[in-house]
Amino acid sequence: MTHKEYRHLTEKLQKYIAQKNNAKVVQMLEGLHAADLAEILDELNFDEALFVIRLLDSDVTADIIAELDDDLKEKILDNLSAKEIAEEIEELETDDAADIIAELPEDKKVQVISHIDDKDHAKDIVELLRYDEDSAGGLMGKEFVKVNKNWNVLRAVAEMRKQAKDMPKVHTIYVVNDDEQLKGRLSLKKLLTTSTKTPIKNVYNDNIHFVSVNDSADEVARMMQKYDLFVIPVVDETGRLVGQITIDDVVDYIKEEAEKDYQMAAGISEDVEADDNILQLMRARLPWLIVALIGGFASVIVLSGFGNAMNRYGTLFFFTPLIAATAGNVGVQSSAIVVQGLANGTLTGSIWKRLLKEISLSLLNGIILAVILLLIGKFLLGHILTGFDLKMALTVAISLVSVIIIASLIGTFIPLFLHKQGIDPAVATGPFITTSNDIFGIYIFFTIAKLILGF
């Protein structure tokens, strides 16, 4: 549906809701995909959305709630009783169910779980709640099909049929031993073309990629991407098969991580969207601006320390923003490459080699920029700027090269250091790097100027 079609549909829907015309509302929404319904509900106001949720059957609304925008989801769950939420949960696969329960307040969590009639389902969900949300355990679901390697084909098919009854789609048939340890997978083709008495252990494929329950979500994403997998099995510490991760959940994770990194680099500290309200946007944007402002004061203090140069070498102060901006830009470039290299594993070799490479690169870039600066300075600025003589021009050029080298080293070193400390290096990109490089850049600039010009 296009945005216009959505709006048209939403307006009609709001009219029927206002008239409390339940039959028309149900009729309009019938047959739509849960993801589309969730988008429509996001457009309604809260009371209207709650009205629709209460009106539709829980087998439909469960999937809608799982797809809703976080804000609306939270509000809707706040307004549903533990019993109502439990009814929704019964309809969901374990991973989606666990994601919803994880967001409830502690006491409501317990109530909802106690209201789930299917005790096996409840047990699976409780197990999933134990895992960190950014781990393989946090991404996996408990819906999968497994057969014992000691069974024969006949028994395997019968058991599979039982297990697959409530599953929308079976992706892989896993093979385990008597201790439930993952041993391999079974192709459907093999199963269909083998005599019913053949033991599974004679026909299964033991070449299988898997992850461990405590592996990070990043590792899961890397594995599935590298081997082009649609599903991957998850084993616990003893090798027992405990879950399965499907690629759709990993795609959502990859998208979210990319958005987070991008926002972090842009100095936005919370996950916000363009349609969030002003207060949410302020909370996300103000913290880094305050940090940068305090950093700005540091540069004020540094500059005031060189205030005595103002009389004779005022031109230096005209160049301060140019130097600071270059330092910031170079720092961000360096840190971005390191952060990305750490994320996708292309950053190999020692730190010292890496720093040496940055120095060579900065020297090259710096010299080219310095030549451009001297040319522009000589042919364009000579007439405009008083006192911008060769000595001054060389001072600025030499400072520029030095600042570029130092800025790139800071930009390289800080994310590497944070990574070693176990801190997400992405925080080092954006305002953090620009602010610190501004201060260092200005300090280096004036220190070199002082050495050359003498003031």
Residues 136-195 that bind a second copy (CB under 8 A): none
Q: Which stretch binds a second copy (CB under 8 A): 51-59, 148-156, 197-205, 283-291?
A: 283-291
Please, what is the minimum distance in Å from the beta carbon of residue 247 to a second copy? 5
Pick one of 94, 152, 244, 299: the residue that binds a second copy (CB under 8 A): 299
User: Which of residues 85 and 393 has its CB atom nearest to a second copy in the complex?
Assistant: 393
Q: What are the E-state strand segments in 96-230?
A: 145-148, 173-176, 182-186, 211-212
User: Which of residues 18 and 301 has its CB atom nearest to a second copy in the complex?
Assistant: 301
List binders of a second copy among 303-332 (CB under 8 A): 303-304, 307, 310, 314-315, 317-326, 328-330, 332
The yes or no reply on residue 265 touching a second copy (CB under 8 A) is yes
Pick one of 162, 237, 384, 421: the residue that binds a second copy (CB under 8 A): 384
Q: In this structure, are residues 432 and 355 in contact, taking their beta carbons and an 8 Å threshold?
A: no
The yes or no reply on residue 199 touching a second copy (CB under 8 A) is no
What residue type is assigned to position 297 of the chain?
A: F
Pick one of 288, 413, 443, 446: the residue that binds a second copy (CB under 8 A): 288
Q: CA-to-CA distance for 432 and 336, rounded, in angstroms?
A: 12
Q: Which residues lie closer than 8 Å to 300 by C-beta, 6 or more apart?
A: none
Pick one of 28, 55, 126, 281: the residue that binds a second copy (CB under 8 A): 281
Tell me which DSSP letter residue 228 carries. T
Q: In this structure, are residues 67 and 38 in contact, taking their beta carbons and an 8 Å threshold?
A: yes
Residue matched to tokens 């469960």 = 62
The yes or no reply on residue 450 touching a second copy (CB under 8 A) is no
Q: Which stretch binds a second copy (CB under 8 A): 74-82, 119-127, 194-202, 281-289?
A: 281-289
- How would you class 307 by CB atoms within 10 Å of its CB: exposed for 0-12, middle for 13-18, buried for 19 or more? exposed
The yes or no reply on residue 113 touching a second copy (CB under 8 A) is no
List binders of a second copy among 412-431 (CB under 8 A): 429-431
Q: Inter-axis angle of helices 119-129 and 94-102, to 10 degrees?
A: 60
Q: Which residues lie closer than 8 Å to 45 by C-beta, 6 or more apart?
A: none
The yes or no reply on residue 91 touching a second copy (CB under 8 A) is no
List binders of a second copy among 8-37 (CB under 8 A): 31, 33, 35
* Rg, C-alpha atoms of the chain: 30
Pick one of 154, 158, 167, 293: the residue that binds a second copy (CB under 8 A): 293
Closest by CA to 178, choosing from 245, 244, 243, 241, is: 241
Please, what is the minimum distance in Å from the beta carbon of residue 119 to a second copy? 28
Q: Which stretch binds a second copy (CB under 8 A): 77-85, 110-118, 235-243, 254-262?
A: 254-262
- Count of residues that bind a second copy according to CB under 8 A: 106
Q: What is the per-residue DSSP string for 196-217?
A: TTSBGGGT-B-----EETTSBH
Q: CA-to-CA distance for 260 and 424, rounded, in angstroms?
A: 11
Q: In this structure, are residues 102 and 133 in contact, taking their beta carbons and an 8 Å threshold?
A: yes
The yes or no reply on residue 285 touching a second copy (CB under 8 A) is yes
Pick one of 14, 177, 181, 365: the residue that binds a second copy (CB under 8 A): 365
